[in-house]
């Protein structure tokens, strides 16, 4: 199963606003995506409660995984999203131009 490790770019970590943006984008993908921290069990990336339960603070390293056709492209897109400071993008929403 392909994986990507990414350091969170949001200054406040993966709290409600950046988590919402990430979860919405992950839920749109054609393959199931999972996110985890370290050796903890992965949670579905398309579920807000699971993502928030990670408690991923600023600069945390998260691991994304997905399986299926197009998984590599999906992971690249979601990793790039998490690497950005989503808190610094006024009015940003998943899919909106920065």
Q: Alpha-carbon torsion 92, 83, 72, 22, what sign?
A: negative
Q: Which of 15, 17, 20, 84 is catalytic?
A: 15
Q: Does the annotation count 66 as an active-site position?
A: no
In terms of Cβ atoms closer than 10 Å to its own Cβ (0-12, 13-18, 19+), residue 8 is buried
- The residues near 60 (Cβ < 8 Å, ≥ 6 apart) are 7, 8, 13, 14, 37, 54
* Rounded-to-integer distance, Cα 52 and Cα 63, Å: 15
**Residues with active-site annotation:** 15
């Amino acid at each position: 199963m392909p994986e990507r490790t990414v350091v969170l770019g949001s200054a406040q970590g993966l709290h409600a606003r950046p988590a919402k943006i990430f979860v919405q984008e992950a839920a749109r993908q054609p393959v199931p995506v999972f996110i985890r921290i370290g050796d903890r069990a992965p949670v579905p990336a398309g579920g807000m409660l699971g993502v928030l339960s990670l408690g991923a603070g600023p600069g945390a390293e998260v691991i994304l995984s997905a399986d299926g056709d197009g998984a590599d492209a999906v992971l690249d897109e979601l990793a790039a999203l998490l690497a950005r400071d989503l808190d610094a993008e006024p009015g940003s929403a998943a899919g909106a131009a920065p």
